[in-house]
């Protein structure tokens, strides 16, 4: 690969910053969030949003709590212009939401933009941009530095003139491709714009610093932002904003380090749509903060509905491994991961019970799950799924979570081996219903031929148990009445009298979850000629379920004897 064709970023951008503070800072609060899905994200779609999709997306953002939304590029698209007019002529935007519209530094396009916002009573930000990097100046615009500076200032003057009669309007400037522009030139232009627009703390100007095409490691972007933060004039009258793209796959890191470096506002897209590899993902940024104990000030408690809206409006599916929202991000297939998660859940629930507090009110520290899926409206159904990589912990968790079947540890080991054989043979994931069916086929034998329960009665008189039992063995009825023992021992004795020895080592009672007819389930460990094995029985009656488990073991022992 001809890597020699590309210049190292340090040869293109020399940031005159010798001491930096951002490496020693910590994020403590959320920035101002500005979703640009309706403008930047929309212009990157193969099929731009129609009016219905734009409105649905806008209303979703409102519901999530965004207070500043870039709604379109009204001079570039009739659809965008019409959507801005919809906001002006209806009440779909709450009074506390700031509307942002985007325009190049060209008078006719600024006029069209200003025309679109007439009648909007919300606060409005007019966002003007011009590319400033050397390649863009020379190749695209054909301007020298001084010529481009004058073009930008002329656009700024046009905005002042054309909005002079409009109340509640503020201004934003983006030196597009900021991250490839000479630092001294960016400072010069930005200072000229804040002076022109008379930035004050009461009416601040937004200076937005786009990493339009990501070209460096995140620390370089942080240095560039800190340099601006420390050297801008009227700093207390400036809201310093960033707009990272994701060409190198580090857009989120760039935004986080930029906030450490002094940025106060972040523009991006929910789930990261945008040109090329996308805009910075402001959902990931917000939920990263949530995972650090910082309130992101945006509501992601129903992330599935948010995803449905974004996928519908963008006509692009969210990847199953997308952070936080993907179908598989809270799912473990690996046995070691599953075991750790299962133990983590148990410890979490025990801590909550021990403190007599809700599970949602105590510190989250479940291995492999950075946040509680329930925080974003997810349940635990898909946390553990089974395939050939899965272990006993995950299999046991799934049976317990889906059906209420609590497997003893030794049975977990035995069943995991059987599941692994099935998964290896098919190469496919095994779903919870398939797991239950496999469990029943191995341990709850449905074939009653050879040994069958006919009748069972167990009563207690004067604290002494009396059991009456009738079995069909090889088609012949056998009955017995026993004093002082329960149904399990009675069944074992009656079987033993017919030379079918069932030596029960341990017995475990469980119950199946609602939806499986609320059956009782008995698991027994017994000795056979081939070693210790397991059998299970189920029935509405706990006593009958226990006897059925013994009979299941008896059938297996009889089959072994016949085979021998």
Write down the pTM of the prediction.
0.75
Exposure class string for 343-370: b at 16+ Cβ within 10 A, else e: ebbeebeeeeeeeeeeeeeeebebeebe
From the number of C-beta atoms within 10 Å of its C-beta (0-12, 13-18, 19+), residue 7 rates as: exposed
Same fold? 3-314, 451-563: no
The confidence band for 401, taking pLDDT boundaries of 50, 70 and 90, is confident
Query: Percent of the chain scored above 90 by pLDDT?
Result: 63
Q: Determine the average pLDDT of the residues in 73-97.
A: 97
Domain spans of the chain, in order of start: 3-314, 335-372+381-440, 451-563
Contacts with 161 (C-beta within 8 Å, 6 or more apart), sequence order:
none
In this prediction, residue 383 carries a pLDDT of: 65
For domain 335-372+381-440, the CATH class is mainly alpha
Q: Are 35 and 268 in contact (CB under 8 A)?
A: yes
Confidence of residue 174 (pLDDT cuts 50, 70, 90): very high
Place of tokens 């986080």: 256
Judged by DSSP in three states, 93 sits in coil
Q: Which of 9-23, 40-54, 432-446, 548-562 has the highest mean pLDDT?
A: 40-54
**Secondary structure (3-state) at 350:** helix
Mean pLDDT, rounded, of the chain: 90
Question: What pLDDT score was predicted for residue 11?
Answer: 66
Q: What is the pLDDT of residues 415-465, one digit of tens each?
A: 888 888 887 787 777 788 888 889 888 888 655 557 889 889 888 877 788
Residue pair 341/369 in contact (Cβ under 8 Å)? The answer is yes
SS3 assignment, position 22? helix
Q: Which of 285, 289, 250 is nearest to 268 (CA)?
A: 285
For residue 254, what pLDDT is reported?
98
Q: Sort residue 478 into left (φ over 0), alpha (ψ -120 to 50) or beta.
A: beta
CATH number for 451-563 (one of 2.30.30.830, 3.20.19.10, 3.40.190.10, 3.30.160.270): it is 3.30.160.270
The pair of structure tokens assigned to 329 is: 């991000």
* CA dist., res. 366 & res. 344, Å (int): 5
The helix or strand, by DSSP H or E, that contains position 351, with its residue range, turns out to be helix 335-354
Amino acid 307: pLDDT: 93
- Measured distance CA(264)–CA(235) in Å, rounded: 12
Whole-angstrom Cα distance, residue 416 to residue 407? Answer: 11
The predicted pLDDT at position 396 comes to 76
Architecture of domain 3-314: Alpha-Beta Barrel (3.20)
Q: Which residue has the tokens 């990847």?
A: 319
Give the model's pLDDT for residue 474.
85
Write the CB contacts of 25 (distance below 8 Å, at least 6 apart in sequence): 260, 261
């Amino acid at each position: 690969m001809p890597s020699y064709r590309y210049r190292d970023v340090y040869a293109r951008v020399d940031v005159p910053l010798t001491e930096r503070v951002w490496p020693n800072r910590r994020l403590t609060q959320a920035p101002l969030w500005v979703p640009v899905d309706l403008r930047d994200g929309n212009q990157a779609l193969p099929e731009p949003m129609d009016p219905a999709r734009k409105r649905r997306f806008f209303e979703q953002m409102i519901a999530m709590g965004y207070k500043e939304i870039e709604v379109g590029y009204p001079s570039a698209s009739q659809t965008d212009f019409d959507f801005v007019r919809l906001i002006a002529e209806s009440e779909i935007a709450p009074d506390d939401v700031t509307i942002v519209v985007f325009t190049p530094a060209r008078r006719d396009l600024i006029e069209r933009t200003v025309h679109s916002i007439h009648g909007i009573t919300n606060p409005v930000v007019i966002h003007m941009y011009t590319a400033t990097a050397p390649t863009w100046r020379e190749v695209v615009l054909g301007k020298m530095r001084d010529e481009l500076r004058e073009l930008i200032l002329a656009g700024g003057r046009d905005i002042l003139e054309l909005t002079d009669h409009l109340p509640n309007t503020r201004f934003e400037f983006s030196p597009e491709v900021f991250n490839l522009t000479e630092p001294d030139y960016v400072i010069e232009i930005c200072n000229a714009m804040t002076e022109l627009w008379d930035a004050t703390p009461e009416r601040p100007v937004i200076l937005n610093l786009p990493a339009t095409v990501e070209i460096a490691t995140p620390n370089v972007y942080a240095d560039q932002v800190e340099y601006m933060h420390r050297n801008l004039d009227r700093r207390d009258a400036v809201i310093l904003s960033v707009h990272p793209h994701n060409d190198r796959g580090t857009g989120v890191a760039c935004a986080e380090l930029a906030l450490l470096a002094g940025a106060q506002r972040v523009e991006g897209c929910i789930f990261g749509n945008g040109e090329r590899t996308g805009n910075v993902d402001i959902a990931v940024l917000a939920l990263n903060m949530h995972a650090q104990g910082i309130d992101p000030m945006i509501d992601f408690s129903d992330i599935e509905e948010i995803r449905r809206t974004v996928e519908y409006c963008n006509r692009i599916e969210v990847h199953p491994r997308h952070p936080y929202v993907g179908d598989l991000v809270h799912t473990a297939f690996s046995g070691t991961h599953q075991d750790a998660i299962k133990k983590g859940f148990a410890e979490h629930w025990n801590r909550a019970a021990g403190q007599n507090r809700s599970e949602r009110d105590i510190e989250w520290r479940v291995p492999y799950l950075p946040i509680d899926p329930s925080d974003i409206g997810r349940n635990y159904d898909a946390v553990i799924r089974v395939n050939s990589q899965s272990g006993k912990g995950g299999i046991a968790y799934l049976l317990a979570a889906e059906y209420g079947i609590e497997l003893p540890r030794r049975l977990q080991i035995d069943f995991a081996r059987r599941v692994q054989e099935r998964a290896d043979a098919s190469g496919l994931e095994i779903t919870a219903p398939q797991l239950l069916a496999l469990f029943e086929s191995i341990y709850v034998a449905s074939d009653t031929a050879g040994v069958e329960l006919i009748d069972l009665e167990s009563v207690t008189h004067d604290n002494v148990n009396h059991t009456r039992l009738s079995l069909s063995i090889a088609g012949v009825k056998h009955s017995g009445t026993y004093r002082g023992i329960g149904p399990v021992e009675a069944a074992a004795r009656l079987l033993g009298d017919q030379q079918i020895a069932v030596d029960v080592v341990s017995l475990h009672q469980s119950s199946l979850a609602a939806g499986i007819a609320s059956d009782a389930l008995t698991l027994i460990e017994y000795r056979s000629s081939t070693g210790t094995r397991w059998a299970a029985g189920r029935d509405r009656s706990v006593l009958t379920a226990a006897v059925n488990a013994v009979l299941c073991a008896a059938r297996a022992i009889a089959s072994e004897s016949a085979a021998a």
